[in-house]
Every structure is written in structure tokens, then in C-alpha cells.
Amino acid sequence: AGALVAGLNDLSFTRSGYLWMLANIASNVSHLLVLRSLKLNRALSNTQILHYSGMWSLAWLVPLGLAEGIGSTLQELLRQPLSFQLVVLSTGVNSILMFL
């Protein structure tokens, strides 16, 4: 329902766009149900649940990144100024530390 409400004033309606939105909603709901199941069926802390969530995301994001050519993006990052590289590095390290 949220996707339909968001699209009421949308300037361009495409069937594939709404199908992707519905797929996104279905995957988010599935993800939350899996996390809830983990929490209810095991004595896991919120930190452990966050860790499992991060690992689940990586299982999908790494192959997708490789398919999308993340290698060329990393090469482009290395050509950026050092200050920008440090910002990206600190953001990445912060994201990793959140999952520990």
C-alpha cells in the first residue's frame, strides 16, 4: 500500500518500477520475518541480530557489486584526493564496527 500511496503523484508511472518497489517491500518483510524468527527461537542479543542482518546483506551485496563492476569503482576511488579516500575509508570502517 505504501508504494501505491507514494506513487499517486508520481510524474512517470512504469509497471516495472512498481514491480521493483513491490519486490523491495516483499524482500524487506521477508528479512524482518527471518530476523524476528531468529530473535524468538534463539536467545540472541540485539547486537547478534544486527550481525546476522549485516552478514545476510553482504551475501547479496558482494556478488551484486562484483557483477556491477565494483573493481572499476575502487580504481576510480584510488584516483581521488587523499581527503576523499579517508572519508570513504572512515565511513566503511564505521559501518564494519557497527556490525561487531
The whole-angstrom separation of Cα 28 and Cα 34 is 10
Report the Cα 58 to chain-centroid distance in Å: 8
pTM of the model: 0.45
Sign of CA dihedral 33, 37, 43, 48: negative
SS3 category, 16: helix
pLDDT at 14: 79
Report the Cα 93 to chain-centroid distance in Å: 16
Residues lower than pLDDT 70 in the chain: 1-4, 6-11, 94-100
pLDDT at 79: 92
Please choose, from the candidates 53, 17, 15, 16, the residue with its C-alpha nearest in 3D space to the C-alpha of residue 34.
53
pLDDT in tens, 58-69: 777 788 888 888
